[in-house]
Chain A
Amino acid sequence: MMVRIQTADFDVSAEIAALRRNNPKIGAVASFVGVVRDVNDGGAVAGMTLEHYPGMTEKAIEEIVVQAKGRWKVIDALVIHRVGTLKPTDQIVLVVVTSGHRGDAFAACEFIMDYLKTRAPFWKKEQSGEGSRWVEARATDDIAAGRWRLKG
Chain B
Amino acid sequence: MPMVTVLYFARLREVLGKSSESIALPASVRDLEGLRALLIARGGAWEQELAPGRPVRAAVNQAMAVGDVQIADGDEVAFFPPVTGG
Chain A residues proximal to chain B, CB less than 8 Å: 34, 50-53, 55-56, 59-60, 81, 92-93, 113, 116-125, 134-137
The answer to whether A92 and B86 touch across the interface, beta carbons within 8 angstroms, is yes
Task: Check B9 for interface membership: any CB of A closer than 8 A.
Answer: yes
- Among residues of B, the one whose C-beta sits closest to the C-beta of A81 is B85
B9, B63, B86: the one within 8 Å of A113 (CB) = B86
Expressed in whole angstroms, the Cα–Cα distance for A60 and B85 within the complex equals: 12
User: With A123-B11, A137-B55 given, is the CB distance from A56 to B84 under 8 Å?
Assistant: no
Known: A120-B83, A122-B83. A59 touches B10 (CB 8 A): no
Bound together, the chains give a CA A92 to CA B84 distance in angstroms of: 12
Given the interface contacts A51-B9, A123-B11, does A59 sit within 8 Å of B83 by beta carbon?
A: no
* Nearest-neighbor residue (CB-CB) of A32 within chain B: B86
When the two chains form the complex, which single residue of A53, A92, A116 contacts B9, counting CB atoms closer than 8 Å?
A: A53
**Cβ < 8 Å to A, chain B residues 8-49:** 9-11
Given contacts A51-B9, A53-B9, A59 and B85 within 8 Å (CB-CB): no
